[in-house]
Amino acid sequence: TTEIYTLSLHDALPISPQESLARIHVPPGFRVELVAAEPLTVDPVAIDWDPAGRLWVAEMSDYPLGMDGRGQPGGRVRVLEDTDGDGVMDRSRVFAEGLNFPTGLLTWRDGVLVTAAPEIVLLRDTDGDGSADRREVVVRGLLEGNQQLRANGLRWGLDNWVYCAAGGHHGNYGVGTRLRTAKGEVLVGSRDFRFRPDTGELEQESGPSQYGRNRDDWGRWFGTQNIRPLWHYVLADRYLRRNPHVAAPDPTRQVVVPLSPKVYPASAPEKRFHSFNEAGHFTSACAGTIYRDEVLFPGTPPGVQHAFTCEPFHNLVQHNQVMEDGVSFRAERVPGEGELDFFASEDRWCRPVMTRTGPDGALWVVDMYRYMIEHPEWLPPEGKAELLPHYRLGDDRGRIYRVVPATGTLRAAGRLDTLDPAGLVAALDSPNEWRRDKAHQLLVQQPERVDLVSLRKVARAVNRPLARVHALAVLEGIGALQEEDIAKALEDPHPGVRENALRMAESHGTTQVLARATALVRDPSPKVRLQLALTLGEWEHLEAGRAL
């Protein structure tokens, strides 16, 4: 068994960004572009865009054990800009530094939310010098421990909450773990959570996902953990905890199966110190995400989605087709993509740790670019001794790529910061996930300026179902959702709109809404019927009981 692992990682040397780019394999019909590299960014692990189109990067330069090997913080948030519009970042500035192992970020109002256990902080620049000068702790009490297992993510939900993956501590997270916000303490235990940064509200969610908690267009959430490339959260925790006397079932369903499925790398095997039977299989799955645009895969049939999961130990990103399967999903490797995975690098320093759908419709890939990605805590004594001098090699490097169509042009990303509320309402009709989500977020943050007439017109009349559901969600987020809005949406021809309308109906249990909702008991969509069952449990009405 050991003979096939004799090629030591010590034999590999780092190569330039251009050389590494040339060693990345993607299927026919696609190509890879280098968007940013050192010295503009180093140790990138998470990205997001702000309304001005700037790229914000969380840099975990203190990985794995701190700048001094004893936990000294050294993480950063950096802002990158493409000033000449050629698609390549050419300006970089450090927005904040000295952060404690930052793992995720979300641009928020005039600043950025960052997960840096034991806190989630809001960093702002109030004097206009380009660096953060205000630091507000939004959430306290996140578990620290192993740096690979800390809270991360931060994603905007259709329900107007920010979602956070609690990390991979699982049983070690402990029933005694409490998170503190301006609203008080919440017992989270071994679960993910959602919160409202402006008010301090926080609630438990099913989980935890180790690295990355992402959703599809219709608000269905997915998680990832090491040998589990992608699972679907079928049941939200808020429904499960209604009855403390019933042991809830597993709220998740594995979508990419079996556990530790095969990967198809372009790189030679690394030296292993344990789990030899897992070579060539998922062992470091992270950041499972759903691609949410039309640029890369035009003509995708209804009911089919494209999922991407990073596998940094094997230097690749795997692509799976995700298809409807009752109340959940199933997946299969995409036919015709060849012998290698979708994004497979020959460079064994290439460490993809996150993918995102960019505002331009490309698939963006964050490459931490490290000599070793495995945390020393997982190594046996002989592995720790051999690799000790190399724990931080690559801490001065990092690359960000985007996968684009081999021919044709990307969508113009466009800025949102220059749009008035009417322009933001129009942006809800975009086919791009980031543009819809950020316009949605910005509208909720300025309710006094929203034109309710135009918003309702989108909710009821626009052809794109995703625009209708976002318009409804904005109405909900600004407290303007009315009984008639919900009743109309419960009869929408698209099941995703009906599914979300049922969730929104939970706080509007009027006679009209109840009648429209219970009529869905024979809805052709299993996901709509599941949401109906969950929603009915929120109403203390005789008709709700009969429908159940």
pLDDT digits (tens, 9 = 90+) for 317-357: 999 999 999 999 999 999 888 899 999 999 999 999 999 99
CA-based R_g, the chain, Å = 23
Which DSSP category does 278 fall into? Answer: G
- Could you tell me the two tokens for 242? 């209604």
Residue position matching structure tokens 């064994």: 348
| Residues 79 and 52: beta-carbon distance below 8 Å | no
Q: What is the largest CA-CA distance in the chain?
A: 71
Which DSSP category does 262 fall into? Answer: B
Residue position matching structure tokens 């009981």: 545
- pLDDT of 393: 83
Sheet order of strands, 75-81 included: 44-49, 55-59, 75-81, 91-99
Residue ranges of the chain with per-residue pLDDT less than 50: 1-10, 171-175
- Could you tell me the two tokens for 348? 């064994």
* DSSP secondary structure string for all residues of 435-470: HHHHHHHHHHT-GGG--HHHHHHHHHH-S-HHHHHH
- pLDDT of 67: 87
**Which ranges of 107-256 does DSSP label H, i.e. alpha helix?**
237-240
pLDDT tens column, 252-270: 999 999 999 999 999 988 7
Q: Enumerate the β-bridge partners of residue 214.
A: 222
Reported pTM: 0.95
- pLDDT of 69: 85
Q: Which of helix, strand or coil describes residue 187? A: strand
Report the Cα–Cα distance between both ends of the chain, in Å, rounded: 56
Q: Cα separation of 276 and 221, whole Å? A: 32
Per-state percent for the chain, helix, strand, coil, to nearest 5: 25, 30, 45
| Residues 31 and 22: beta-carbon distance below 8 Å | no
Ranges of beta strands (E only) in 248-351 are 252-254, 286-291, 304-311, 316-325, 328-333, 343-345
- pLDDT of 143: 87
* DSSP secondary structure string for all residues of 125-155: -SSSSSS--EEEEEEE----SSGGGS-EEEE
Which DSSP category does 411 fall into? Answer: P
Q: Cα separation of 175 and 197, whole Å? A: 24
Name 520's Cβ contacts closer than 8 Å, sequence gap at least 6: 490, 498, 502, 528, 529, 532
- Could you tell me the two tokens for 20? 């590494």
- Could you tell me the two tokens for 276? 């030899």
Residue position matching structure tokens 């205000």: 134
Strands 363-367 vs 192-195: parallel, antiparallel or unpaired: unpaired
- pLDDT of 443: 98
